[in-house]
Structure 1
Amino acid sequence: MTAPQRSDDRAGMAWLMGDMLLVTMMTVLVKIEGANYPAIQLVFIRSLIGLVSVLPLAWRHRAEIAGTRRVGGHLVRVSCNTLALSCNFAALTALPLALANAIGFMRPLVVLVFAVFMLGERVGPIRWIGTIIGFAGVLVMVAPGNVPLNLGLAAAFGSVLFGSLAVVQTRSLREENTTVLMVFYTVGLTLLTAIPAAFVWEPVALGDWPTLLAIGVLAQVGQYCFLRAYQSTPANVLAPLGYLSIVFAALTGYFFFDEVPGWTTLLGVIVILVALQLTNLFDRGPRRKEPEIDAKL
C-alpha cells in the first residue's frame, strides 16, 4: 500500500469514526422519544429537519444536482436508506439497546459480501478471516437461542439488510458530489416517509421539539461524515472498523439506560477488537486497482 493510499484510508476511517460517535448520540435520543412517538414519525421529523439544513447547499449546488446522470442509483440508495432507518428506529424502540446494537454489528460482514459480489471489490483472505472472527464476536453477544422472536427482532435484521445495500450503493456513487448525495438522500427520505407518518401521527409536545431537533441535526452531520468516509475509502476496508461502534453502544447503554454489559458482551468486544487488530497488523500487502463500477448500479 502506497503512502497516499494509507493516508486516504486513515481519513476515511476518521470520517467513519465521527459518524459512529454522532449516531450513538442520536441513538440515545431516539430510544428516549421512541416510547412516545411511532418510529416512522421520528424518521419523518428527522428527515424534515435535515431537509431544512441542506436547502442552502441545494441552491448553491443546483447545477450539479440538475446535471446528475445517476438518478436511478440515487433512488435505489434513498429507498434502501428509508427502509433501513425506519427498521432501525423501530428496533431501538422495541428491543433493549444492547441487543439492537449487537444485531446491527452484523452489517460490516454483510457490506463486505455485497461489496465483493455487487461492486467487484477485491478482498484478501486476511480481511475475510478478520471479518468472520468479528462476526463470531457478534454471535457471542447476541447468544443465539436466547433471543426472543418478535417484530423488533425482525426490524433489527431488516435494518442490517437494507442498511448494507445502502452502503454498497453509496460506494457505487462515490464520484458524485457529496452535497448532491445529501440532497437526494434528505429530500427522498422526507417524501417517502411523509404519507406513512401521516397515518400514525401523534401530536408532538412542545417540550419534545428540542430533542427531536437534535436528532435531526446529529443525523445530518453524521450522514455527511458517512458519505465522506465511503467516498474516499473502499467499503471492504471500512467494514471491519464498523465493529468498533460496539464500544460506543456499550458505554451508552451503561451511562444512559443502566444496562450493565454481561460477560457475553464483554467477551464479544474482546473478540471483535482482537479481530480488528490482527486484520490491520497482517493485511499490509499492496492493494490492486479496483475495477470500474458499472454505471447501471
Structure 2
Amino acid sequence: MSSDIVYLDGAFIAAQDAKVSVFDRGFLFGDSVYEVIPFYRGVAFGLEPHLKRLEHSLAALRIPLSTDLPVVLNELVARNGGGNLSVYLQVTRGDAGRRTPVYDASMQPTVFACCNPIRDIYADGPDGVSGIAVIVTADLRWHRCDIKANGLLPNILVLQQAREAGAAEALMIRDGVMTEGGSSNLFIVKSGVLYTPKLGSEILGGTTRGLVLELAREAGIPYQETDLSYENLLEADEVWISSSTRAVVPVLSVDGKTVGDGEKGPLWRRMFELFSQFHHRLMTGEE
C-alpha cells in the first residue's frame, strides 16, 4: 500500500487529498517524465544520477523546472517514516485549461511524488535473491527511449505478456538487436567478460546500469558496451537484468531455455558483493 503523504506542487498532503486537473497534459497526452528512486533507511541510493537523467528528460521535452528536488524528496521520505522506500517522481508540462496538442512555453509544470515500501535487497545476501525466467519479444516502443517518459503502454503490454508466460521480465529486440527489458537493463556474461547493449536513443541509460559498469571498472572486471543478438543471449554463460529497486538479478532461463548451468553465476555473485559493499559505504560512511 502506498504511504500516506505525497508531494504535489509545493505541498505535502494526504494521498486522498491530492488532485490533478483533468486538463493536465500528463493525463491527456502523457506529456510528462518520471523517475523512481530507492531510499534505504531513509538515505537515497543514486539520487544524483537519477536527477541528472530527469534533467535530460525535461530538457528533451522542453519542460522548465525550478523545484529543489533533493530537499523535497528527502522531506517526503522523512514524512513517510524513513526506512526503505521507493520514491516515484513525475513532472508534467502542466494544465493548459483545455485539451490542445500545442502548448504555451509559460505553462507551470505539475510536480508529484509519492512513496512505496521496498525490500532491502542487500539484507539477505546473494542467497536471498531468486533467479528469474524471462521471455524475448518485439520492441514496439518509440525511438526516444532515452527519455524516461510516461508513455509506457508498450512496456505494460510486454510485461503482461511475460507474466502470462510465467516469466518475470520481457527482454525486447529491435531489428535483430537486443535493447532492454520492459523495466530493466540487460547484461550477459561470456567467457568472463561482461556485455551490455550500447547506449543510444532506443535504450534508457539506467542509473543502476551505470553503477554496474562503474563497479566493474573499479574491480577490474572486463566489460564491453556493444550490440547483442538473440543468439548471444542464448549462448551466454550468465544473463542479468538491472534496475534501481532490484539492483542486479540473475536470469536462469530465456524463452524456456536454460542459461548456462541454470544456477546463479559466479560473476553475478561477485557483482552482488560489490553492490552490497557500495550500499554499506553509503549507509554507514565506512570504507
Give the shorter-chain TM-score range: under 0.3
Q: What is the TM-score of this pair, normalised by structure 1? A: 0.27
Q: Which has the higher contact order (CA 8 A, sep 6+)?
A: 1
